[in-house]
Amino acid sequence: MTKIGIVVGSLRKESFAKKIAINVASLFPEGYETAFVDIGNLPLYNEEYDGNSPEEYTTFRNTIKGCDAILFVTPEYNRSVPGVLKNALDVGSRPYGESMWEGKPAGIISHSISNLSGFGANHHLRQSLTFLNMPVVQQPEVYLANSADLVDEHGKINNEGTVQFLQTFVDAFVGLIKKYQV
């Protein structure tokens, strides 16, 4: 069984990113298990914790270590990723030389409640993942606009074309994961 960790860049209870992630999780084929990875309880990264990490860091790092690949689903805040997501990247990459992200295939879905669709967040995240040595799905890129109108009152994506597009993305992500499995 291939385990996909899903990291959602929003902490809001009714987060559109989480609703999108739940929809996408259901698109993975048999043999792939998805699990949401909590990032909301991580203290802000501080190098002074290296060697004496808070329990939340240890739990998080072990969770990431146990994943075969990571799907990031994030809103855009001020043309970048939310601080909580950047903090999770930093916690998982430290101490220096002990990154939990190393070599794990990654997929990125960004969204915005406006027409801008999270382009800035997507590309800022790609920049960090490149440094963390994570191969990322290059095509199709997923930027979802008007996310508030994309899901119905039950949290389901209400546009079949979008569901089909996301399936194409998941298929490409599965292909990338297979390429990097040992």
Residue 51 burial by CB count (10 A; 0-12/13-18/19+): exposed, middle or buried?
exposed
Q: Which among 118, 108, 167 is positioned nearest to 145, based on CA atoms?
A: 118
- Residues present in the chain in total: 182
For residue range 18-65, list pLDDT tens digits in order.
999 999 999 999 999 999 999 999 999 999 999 899 999 999 999 999
CA quadruple 6, 9, 13, 14: dihedral sign: negative
Q: Regarding the domain with residue range 2-180, which homologous superfamily does it belong to in the CATH classification?
A: Flavodoxin domain (3.40.50.360)
Phi-psi region of 97 (alpha: psi -120 to 50; beta: other; left: phi over 0): left
Rounded to an integer, what distance in angstroms lies between the CA atom of residue 21 and that of residue 23? Answer: 5
Confidence of residue 116 (pLDDT cuts 50, 70, 90): confident
State yes or no: pLDDT of 182 exceeds 90: no
Compute the mean pLDDT over every residue in the chain, rounded to the nearest whole number. Answer: 96
Bridge partners of 4, per DSSP, are: 34, 69
Assess contact for 154 and 9: CB atoms under 8 A: no
Report the predicted TM-score, pTM, of the whole model to 2 decimal places. Answer: 0.97
Domain ranges of the chain: 2-180
